[in-house]
Chain A
Amino acid sequence: MAPSRRRSGRHAREAQRPIPRARASLDPLEIVLIAFRSIRSNLLRSALTTLGVVIGVAAVVALTAAGSGVNASVTDRITSLGSNLLTVTGAGRGAGSRVRGAPPNSITLADAQAILALDDPRIAGIAPQVQINLSIQHGANTSYVSVVGTWPDYQNVRNTTVSEGAFFTQDDNSSGRLVAVLGYQVAQDLFGGSQRALGQSVRIGGLPFDVIGVLPDKGDTGFMSPNSQVLVPLTTFVTRVHRDSPTGTPRMSAVYVQGSSAGALSGLQQDLTTLIASRHRQSDPANYDFRILNQADQLATLNSVTGTLTLFLGSIAGISLLVGGIGIMNIMLVSVTERTREIGVRKALGAKPRDILAQFLLEATMLSVGGGILGILAGIGLGAVAGHALSVPSRVMPQSILIAFLFAAAVGIFFGLYPAQRAARLDPVESLRYE
């Protein structure tokens, strides 16, 4: 390949000059420097070229952060209802049901008592629940609240403990005492504070109740929020507050059953289904007049929905990243044409085709990787701002950062390859003549 460098005559004198030894090939770091210089010398254009990738990567990071933030917040909300939860509710008015006119809340207090009577070790707690919207008064102050009748187990099953006072007891329930536990917001509205509400008297549906406890702030507002609830003993509710069924057993909106462990849930779910189906004399599983929801199933369904949503948002953002890559290719092609003479000069000075290829490929990759880094920073910022604005906690996922970054680098290499090959293949004679 290289000629033997025989030196003779006057060249011998020339050879006395200390010549540094040449290495086999160009140091990769040198190509990085060459590419970096070239980017720096055209800073505005480089920045604009990068913008597409910045926006693409920022969108990927921000949107997946928002998606996983939504997922996390809904998951939190579900698990805050209690852990290892089975929810037994009435069904039958839904689509596909042939049981016409079936009451929506076919589950009764008797069903709850039958579950309790099982005395199954897999059951950690049972809390039937019935509710009605009523006004609550203290002096001149009136609030509209959701009055919930339940058993004392509610505090364990639904993961609800009082911040002030105490929850009602089994004794309160069986005696049907007029005691109430107020939601945080109810106590605020009527008394201006949780502490002040304790021991006070309120009127619910015309009956005087003693406030024995107040729930902590659940950080949520709205009518369905625990902050706007008033909890009373179930017996009190069905005998005095709201007697809906003069003949039969009172109907429940739901019965919450807490399993002793997550692993016990699906077996328990089957047994309860069998129990209630036989109690309700149901034979067609497709048309049961009740439904038992498994919290684990709900979470799995939710995760798959939000996972799909996140993937969808991420893909849309990925498309914009692709567009950014095409922008890089476009500019690199222009740049190769513009710098035809430079390429010719470099080749005349001994640049090998692969040196030129590496220079332009690296330039494109540095643009896209630089854009990727800026995009990640912008995406984290954007996710935080958007999360704040939509009051959805955004959660930046490290794996989405990694994927976006690698994708950006891949985009640079992919879209930089063609222009770089064009540059490497330029004929030195032609390109030196190029004006």
Chain B
Amino acid sequence: MARDVVTLEQVRKAYRLADTPFWALKGVSFTVAAGEMMALMGPSGSGKTTLMNIIGLLDTPTDGRYRLNGEDVSHLSEFDRAVLRNRTIGFVFQAFHLLPRLTAVENVETPLTYGGYHRRARRRQAIDVLDRVGLADKAGSLPAMLSGGERQRVAVARALATNPTLLLADEPTGNLDTRTGNEIIALFHQLNAEGATIMIVTHEPDIAAQTARTVRVRDGLVEADEPHAAVWPPATAGSHDAAAQRSGHGPE
């Protein structure tokens, strides 16, 4: 039986707008089991970004309980959240967010540096995860020299570096064309098969469909939470047409 990585119990989050609290989350409860690959879906304004920030320990809930690996982390200090975030959460962002002055391997090393790993162990581990995402040969490249897909794979490697319990991907394919996006999703499937727990935050139904479970959020509440068969691999026919349609999202 797989243990639960994320347990949310009636999580609520208020923002103060001109003295009247605005409830971005109105009581969200669900769990994510170890080894799951699931999608968090919702339109903009639904509260899914707030939810992701709380799950990713970037923010704290106003009330309710959030347990990460069984431990209550609802009210941790910023310092403790930073330490825990470093060890348990791996972020993948839509805009990659690689540090432009650092090489691929140095970017991957950054979380290990903050984790206090020794230099040599750090480099070994970074090369190891770069190899896992198939970019060992680009270790010395600056982000500017990499394609969009390669950048996102470096970002995935960076998220994996500290061997976190949860990979949290925020619109990971949003800045990529369909084909490259599919490569990233394929990478997630591969990592999931190797044991990683992955949560993809997206507003695109076809991305969500490629996972095994979708949690739908709307107006600060869970609207639907259903397991489904992952549509994977996607039909290859027409994927180039799809890429052409989303021409605004070409590789940078």
Give A contacts to B, CB under 8 Å. Answer: 1-6, 8-11, 13-14, 17, 19-27, 30, 34, 37-38, 41, 341-342, 344-355, 428-429, 432
Contact = CB atoms under 8 A, between A and B. Distances in A.
B125 interface: yes
Contacts of B58: 347-348, 428-429, 432
Nearest to A8: B3
Contact of A10 (B53, B68, B195): B195
B240 interface: no
A1 B83 contact: yes
Nearest to B125: A20
Nearest to A10: B195
B82 interface: yes
Given A2-B83, A350-B85, A429-B58, A30 B113 contact: yes
B116 A27 contact: yes
Contacts of A429: 53, 58-59
Contact of A351 (B3, B82, B91, B194): B82
A9 B114 contact: no
B115 A38 contact: no
A21 B80 CA distance: 18
Given A20-B112, A346-B99, 6 more contacts: A1-B84, A2-B84, A3-B87, A14-B196, A350-B162, A352-B82
Given A348-B56, A348-B91, A6 B34 contact: no
A429 B93 CA distance: 12
A10 B128 CA distance: 19
Contacts of B70: 3, 6
Contacts of B88: 3
Contacts of B204: none
Contacts of B115: 22, 350
Nearest to A353: B78
Interface in B81-121: 82-88, 91, 93, 97, 99, 101-102, 110-118, 121
B163 interface: yes
10 contacts: A3-B71, A3-B84, A6-B3, A20-B125, A27-B116, A349-B86, A351-B114, A352-B79, A352-B83, A353-B79
Given A3-B71, A19-B163, A355-B114, A350 B34 contact: no
Contacts of A346: 99, 110, 114
B34 A25 contact: no
Contact of B116 (A26, A34, A349, A354): A26
A341 B95 CA distance: 11
B55 to A, nearest CB: 12
Interface residues of B, number: 51
B234 to A, nearest CB: 25
B133 to A, nearest CB: 15
B35 A10 contact: yes
Give the one of A8, A10, A37 with max B CB within 10 A: A10
Contacts of B2: 8-10
Contacts, number: 126
Contact of A22 (B34, B71, B82, B117): B117
B87 A2 contact: yes
A22 B84 contact: no
Nearest to B33: A9
A23 B80 CA distance: 15
B158 interface: yes
Contact of B114 (A5, A20, A349): A349
Given A8-B3, A22-B116, A432-B97, A3 B68 contact: yes
B246 interface: no
A166 B47 CA distance: 106
Contact of B194 (A9, A14, A20, A350): A14
A1 B80 contact: yes
B122 interface: yes
Interface in B52-72: 53, 56, 58-59, 68-71
A18 to B, nearest CB: 9
Contacts of B73: 3
A162 B116 CA distance: 76
A14 B78 CA distance: 28
A21 B111 CA distance: 14
Give the one of B68, B91, B117 with max A CB within 10 A: B117
B160 to A, nearest CB: 10
Contacts of A11: 34-35, 165, 195
A20 B34 contact: no
B75 interface: no
Contact of A347 (B69, B82, B194): B82
A27 B1 CA distance: 39
B228 interface: no
A22 B80 contact: no
Contacts of B53: 429
B67 to A, nearest CB: 10
A23 B118 contact: yes
A10 B193 CA distance: 9
A348 B85 contact: yes
B205 to A, nearest CB: 24
Contacts of A37: 101-102
A402 to B, nearest CB: 34
Contacts of A345: 93, 97, 99
Contacts of B125: 19-20
Contacts of A24: 116
Interface in B161-197: 162-163, 165, 194-196
A10 B34 contact: yes
B150 to A, nearest CB: 18
A353 B83 CA distance: 10
